[in-house]
A and B are shown apart, each in its own frame.
Chain A
Amino acid sequence: MKKAFAVTLGILTAIGGFVDIGDLVANALVGARFGMSLAWVVVVGVVGICLFAEMSGRIAAVSGRPVFDLVRERLGPRAGVVNLGASFFVSLLTLAAEIGGASLALELATGVNYLLWVPGVAFVAWLVMWRVKFENMERVFGLLGLVLVVFAVALWALGPDWGELAGQLTSPPQAEGAPTYWYYAVALLGAAMTPYEVFFFSSGGVEEKWTREDLSVARANVFVGFPLGGLLSLAIAACAATVFLPVQAEVETLGQMMLPVGLGLGKIGLALVILGVFAATFGATLETALSCGYSISQYFGWQWGKLVRPVEAARFHTVLLVTVVLAAALILTTVDPIMVTEYSLVFSAAALPLTYLPVLMIANDPDYMGDHVNGRFTNALGTFYMVLLSVVAVAAIPLMLATKAGQ
């Protein structure tokens, strides 16, 4: 009974934790412009994140080593430091976007300008990381993020033409050019497979001291939670496709992406969706900030984690403090948080192979994994994704320049 409870809780947390500012923005934006014609990318992204999250969780459980530890161990100090720089930059950009997203949600709830909320959000986020236990932190915000299910309810209440939505799956709108279509495909993939998710997931596994016995629970969380999170993403896209696509309105702010819920469910729905967006972005603020700390500490071999008191992981906590301050400062320059999100997605996509190649190699190394090395099917799929991610990484930045970031 207790185990069933743990599994359910884990799954619910994974659903809420899957959706962050990147998924919210990318899916609403794509739904409004391309209908459901990019839904297949969400599916590809969810399968990919399941695949690599499972591998990194298995590595963490069997060998007790988190992902960035292995990135350096396998790629060496030189390629490792390049990787660290890229991953840290992407995570910092994402962190800034998440802080901005949480502040925007507060603006929508109160009408007070989001810039005034930024210092408070950053401070509270830091306080939570300083004081709150890892497990509680993950659960509270994961479960609150689950409120975003209102998007699915709103979609049903809006009563879309389901045949029309299904038809969009295979036919992109004629008005958009091919480069823009592919640019947003890359951004959506970046949203579903953001590297910080595996840093966080595997470090969390090490922190919670997973053993081989916990593998089934971890797998259930990944294989059920992430796909359900993906469905939530699709519901967001479908809402935007139903309301905005027919009138050719493009989503450019966080407020606009919530509008379909207000139209479908009224004030209660709107209040819930604002709460859900806040919980999802605030939870992701914690995850990305911790990922920044994890990646640097694990590269240099410093003591990290929330299990020990801050005085015993002083360098790790200093990194957390500095990154949160840097990210908040970036948002306070009044740069548009939604634009920061879009850039962070494309740079994530460009950095994906750097993170996932070492994971794939270690998951095949019997020195670490013993009997738990990858099976044939996982390897075939993993190889396919490595090829795919390499292509995406090469194409991401040229596509961004060619389409002027999707304009």
Chain B
Amino acid sequence: MRVLLAAVALVVTLGGCVSPAWDDHDYELKAQETTKTAHSLVEMARLAVQHSDDLHKPYLKTVLTDAAVDLGNVAQQFGGVQPPSDASDQVRDRTLEKVQQAEDELDSLLIQIRRGGIEQPRQAAARLEKLAGELQ
């Protein structure tokens, strides 16, 4: 029992913080991880937006809000890691910019949903698809 509790405490603490990047390679791996998660979130949003006619508004709103919040968290976590060198600075800027673009897109879609609905779902889905492609 005590072991279990200790394990929980350990995992929760480990899950809550981001380890520092040791070198450029490690930083690069972290950037890839961030891109991958962002890609997954954007694809998920794209699927929902593409079929937004088939989905209830509260559902669509919840799914897109979750995706936007998660994107923000991912960006914040990666942005908090100190880049080890100048070369890593470029990686940082590139990654964060792409994630930021996706976040902006989702935010504007959410505004449309709250006003009544997505105006041009097909175009929005196409934009999200392009963003997802860039996040490969």
Contact = CB atoms under 8 A, between A and B. Distances in A.
B76 interface: no
A107 B57 CA distance: 11
Q: Is the interface of B mostly helix, strand, loop or mixed?
A: helix
Contact of A401 (B5, B11, B37, B62): B11
Given A249-B47, A266-B54, A270-B55, A86 B39 contact: no
Interface stretch (A231-239, A252-260, A293-301, A302-310): A252-260
B116 interface: no
B8 A111 contact: no
B44 A256 contact: yes
Contact of B11 (A82, A253, A262, A400): A400
Nearest to B8: A343
B57 A111 contact: yes
Contact of B15 (A250, A274, A347, A404): A404
B4 A262 contact: no
Contact of B43 (A82, A249, A401, A404): A249
B67 to A, nearest CB: 8
B61 interface: yes
B51 interface: yes
A253 B63 contact: yes
Contacts of B11: 343, 400-401, 405
A259 B56 CA distance: 11
Contacts, number: 95
Contacts of A107: 58, 62
A110 B63 CA distance: 12
A262 B47 CA distance: 10
A259 B47 contact: yes
Contacts of A258: 59
Interface in A329-383: 339, 343, 347, 350
Contact of B62 (A89, A111, A247, A339): A111
B47 A263 contact: yes
B105 interface: no
B47 A247 contact: yes
A212 interface: no
A328 interface: no
A179 interface: no
Given A85-B1, A267-B54, A350-B4, A250 B40 contact: yes
A404 B132 CA distance: 25
B66 interface: yes
B111 interface: no
B51 A86 contact: no
B4 A347 contact: yes
A244 B4 CA distance: 34
A279 B14 CA distance: 34
A109 interface: yes
A401 B10 CA distance: 9
B40 A248 contact: yes
Contact of A243 (B1, B15, B47): B47
A278 to B, nearest CB: 13
B4 A401 contact: no
A108 interface: yes
Given A107-B58, A339-B15, 13 more contacts: A108-B62, A111-B61, A248-B39, A248-B43, A249-B43, A252-B66, A255-B63, A258-B59, A263-B51, A267-B54, A267-B55, A270-B56, A271-B56
Closest 6 CB pairs of A and B: A111-B58, A249-B43, A85-B1, A266-B54, A255-B63, A250-B40
Interface of A: 82, 85-86, 89, 107-111, 243-244, 247-250, 252-253, 255-256, 258-259, 262-263, 266-267, 270-271, 274, 339, 343, 347, 350, 397, 400-401, 404-405
7 contacts: A247-B47, A249-B44, A263-B54, A267-B54, A397-B4, A401-B7, A401-B14
